[in-house]
Chain A
Amino acid sequence: MQWETVIGLEVHVQLATRSKIFSGASTAFGAEPNTQACAVDLGLPGVLPVLNENAVAMALRFGLAIDAEIPEVSVFERKNYFYPDLPKGYQTSQMAQPIVGRGTVEILLEDGSRKAIRIHHAHLEEDAGKSLHEDFIGMSGIDLNRAGTPLLEIVSEPDMRSAKEASAYLRAIHTLVTYLGISDGNMAEGSMRCDVNVSVRPKGQAAFGTRAEVKNVNSFRFVERAIAFEVERQIDLLEEGGKVVQETRLFDPEADETRSMRTKEEANDYRYFPCPDLLPLMLDSAYVDHQRSLLPELPGTKRERFIEQLGLSTYDADILASDRDTAEYFEQVMAACDDPKLAANWVQGDLSARLNRAGLSIGESPVSAEQLGGLLKRIKDETINGKAAKQVFSDLWERRFENADQVIEIKGLKQVTDSGALAQVIDQVIEANPVQVTQYREATEEKRGKMLGFFVGQVMKASRGTANPQQVNALLKQKLDALC
């Protein structure tokens, strides 16, 4: 039987506010346990939440960026359950009336086509704390530094049909939230996590199969692997005549498998109800318009602009626009050299290769956009040729010089374009290679073309690579032909 996979994602994005969603405590990562939790985060008797306006603004900007419906009123609700790292015994979240309604996120598939993934809604909520089981023998510790950290939970429709689509979707969300500056997107620190809902159904069947939810997957790769495992597990189960049960599972990256956490029967009744400590959140249109005016150019718009205005290929535009840091770097380089294609080639080519080899992100590049721009400017104005440029780039990477002009100056890499000086070198080369000159003279027109390469090589060598290759070509041909 042919099976079809159906995937929906719930992505938790940690918002980049300085303080927590309902208290003034800091959200900085990596502090000593329980040093960034105030009375409100600890759930002490009598404390009350006060909503962080910045978290609201960030959630709203996400909604505007995905062209979502923005309801005038949204409501915070309490989700009640007991867990030692949930200080109040409830998590303040949104259910019936979330801040962001239906919207769309476009993903790019491997074959270059695009697909729209529908967003069901996105809501604001507070994070819980963290249980530390390893550090204490026979006991567990609780770190409440995370408690109250603002999260935006983005819930997709079950629109994805493969692990690749799911990870492309996750990348698209990552790109978007980092573009918007509403999250640092740091998955290793837990700034982005997702729950993956996976089911399979016979191809052509309209009804969904029973789904399993894989909790807390925290990398693009793990999302693909967790889905691959789940799909295989569910298909095997069904083909053996079994049934998929609705349950919550955990992905274990070490064993590369998912394991059952709890079944539907064990599921909590969360007893959601509107939080009586927080008034309904009202967003007036002036506030929404103001937040809209703060939106940066979004990845899709940027990509279109790269293609239409800068004349880049779809491929280049996709890659350069897919990440805000890369796009910004590219735009700075382009501004300095005034040649989009040249800038695109270098950012995607030499720079990217070097960064990959060194395992660095573009933000950590030893060659700044300004430095690379300065280098490309010298290629564009023909101060140096391509060969010398690679050497300059290498010197800049090693941080031996401040900028391209300094390398060119000190190393004497300036391209020789003075035809008098070139003619002199060419004359020397002709004189030093009488045999080849004779052969050239006796060759057919067709062969002469190939033999010219030998002389060009000699001239370039004699000029230590600084000669302008086009000029050398033209001058050589002129001189040699004159000898014939």
Chain B
Amino acid sequence: MLDLTFAEMARGLAAGEFKSVELVRGLLARIERLDPEINSFVTVTRDQALERAEAADAQRARGEAGVLAGMPLALKDIFCTEGVLTTAGSKMLGNFVAPYSATVVEKLAATGTVSLGKTNMDEFAMGSSNENSHFGPVKNPWDHSLVPGGSSGGSAAAVAAGLVPAAMGTDTGGSIRQPAAFCGITGLKPTYGRVSRYGIIAYASSLDQAGPMARSAEDCALLLNAIAGHDPRDSTSVSRVVPDYTRDLDAPLDGLKIGLPTEYFGDGLDPGVEAAVRDAVKVYESLGARVVEVSLPHTDLAIPTYYVIAPAEASSNLSRYDGVRFGHRCANPLDLEDLYKRSRAEGFGEEVKRRILIGTHTLSEGFFDAYYRKAQQVRRLIRQDFLDAFDKVDVLMGPAAPTPAFALGAQSDPVSMYLQDIYTIAINLAGIPGISVPAGFVGNRPVGLQILAPHFAEAHLLNVAHAFQKVTDWHQRRPVQD
């Protein structure tokens, strides 16, 4: 029962085949056994989870339970969770117990789901390998010498290792889709504004978006139902009707027009990854889809644009970590200047400092027009590329990452690390939704197929992904754990 998909598990609970408490106990035991090696959790909220599981079982016994009541999951440690340590993977917040919960956390709690804890992540969501966490790197469950991808690597690994059937992640430049691909799970980044950002520790506000990471598209649909919608506490969340994302999962694909962006199949793409992705596209053709080549001409500008905008916003968002009100404060500061400098020098890791410095530089007087303003102009061009492409096709497909998971410590140069996000970053700049679904292996390393859709077309995106998962079994493969 612990290895079921999230949706299957929910059906099992509803049918009375097992109880939430049994699930939670089983998973907690697995976490205890496997996680010391995988390191996917920063905090396990054992007692709370059992309490909530019991409450959900009682609710179900009274016949008052909803679909998700008693369903176990985990939260990336970037979601503020009332009364629970919330670190964002940073020493800076190593002692921060959030006094309130993020809207996503509240919404999930309202449906009766049971959080088993907070998952490890790259510090402040900055990274593509989960090696930037203050709490140590996460291991890829398929091969412990490999990275799980970043920054939602803890969530991805926890799901892949069978520690939870689903976990919440956030995606600023690919942080849901790339680790989902590396770990062989399904991860959805919704349209920017579809899910509230309130209570999510901000990295780059105009790019951050929360989304589900689970075993199937159906799982993601169930979870998106729970978390989507307008939040009056987030001015950038969109006031728009939330459809039932499970309703059209089985809708026929007839006439589906798939666009393959030329730019996503060029230099630097691992041949094994390319082969898996092209095979997946053939599966769609066999289901009646038509495939055309399209162009996203500004693709090569996405990474430089992202590395202007994201650090700029981050440099400002991270100013509040100054040692004054909460979080890490240096010992015995000499004066205010010393308090700021040492608290930040001690509290932030290398990659975070690098991005703060880049952002501070690009926003500073004399450079703003050349960098930030220019980047915003390019961002509009990138967005327009997608709008133009979606005039011709229904969805776009390509690899989620140029390579499968690489070895821990293998990417020592920050710029080559940044290139990991080459196929995911533009999607955040454009604000459109994207999903990564398991689509094969290179050796024992999973490969993710990325599917993209127009703004707010998540229902269609999930429908397309689900169609693939009905005829393939890549998403059902599990790594062998001890």
Contacts and interface: CB of A to CB of B under 8 A. Distances in A.
Q: Is the interface of B mostly helix, strand, loop or mixed?
A: loop
B198 A43 contact: no
A44 B99 contact: yes
B340 to A, nearest CB: 6
B232 interface: yes
B431 to A, nearest CB: 12
B199 interface: yes
B469 interface: no
A47 B365 CA distance: 28
B235 A48 contact: yes
B126 interface: no
A48 B131 CA distance: 29
Interface string B406-434: 00000000000000000000000000000
A273 B100 CA distance: 28
Interface string A73-91: 0000010101010011110
A89 B319 contact: yes
Interface in B273-304: none
Given A39-B100, A80-B319, A80-B363, A273 B312 contact: yes
A222 to B, nearest CB: 28
B316 A80 contact: yes
Contact of B199 (A46, A269, A277): A46
A45 B86 contact: yes
A277 B360 contact: no
A425 interface: no
B320 A45 contact: yes
A451 interface: no
Interface centre among B86, B88, B206, B319, by most chain A C-beta atoms within 10 angstroms, is: B319
Contacts of B326: 44-45
A45 B360 contact: no
B313 interface: yes
A271 interface: yes
A90 B317 CA distance: 9
Contacts of B312: 273
A46 B200 contact: yes
- A contact face: mostly helix, strand, loop, or mixed: loop
A78 B312 CA distance: 11
A142 interface: yes
B325 interface: yes
A47 B319 contact: no
A226 B358 CA distance: 42
A269 B236 contact: no
Contact of B316 (A78, A269, A279): A78
A47 B325 CA distance: 15
A50 to B, nearest CB: 6
B108 interface: no
A89 B316 contact: yes
Nearest to B319: A89
B232 A88 contact: no
Interface in A183-201: none
A432 B336 CA distance: 91
B364 A277 contact: no
Contact of B235 (A78, A271, A277): A277
30 contacts: A39-B100, A43-B325, A44-B98, A45-B80, A45-B96, A45-B202, A45-B326, A46-B202, A48-B197, A48-B198, A48-B233, A48-B235, A48-B236, A50-B232, A50-B235, A78-B316, A80-B315, A82-B322, A82-B340, A84-B322, A87-B320, A89-B322, A269-B364, A271-B316, A271-B365, A273-B363, A276-B236, A277-B202, A277-B236, A279-B236
The 8 A-B pairs at the shortest CB distance, nearest first, are namely: A89-B319, A276-B205, A271-B363, A276-B206, A46-B199, A45-B201, A43-B320, A46-B80
Given A39-B100, A269-B364, 14 more contacts: A45-B88, A45-B320, A46-B198, A46-B202, A47-B199, A78-B316, A90-B319, A142-B325, A269-B365, A271-B360, A273-B312, A273-B372, A276-B206, A277-B235
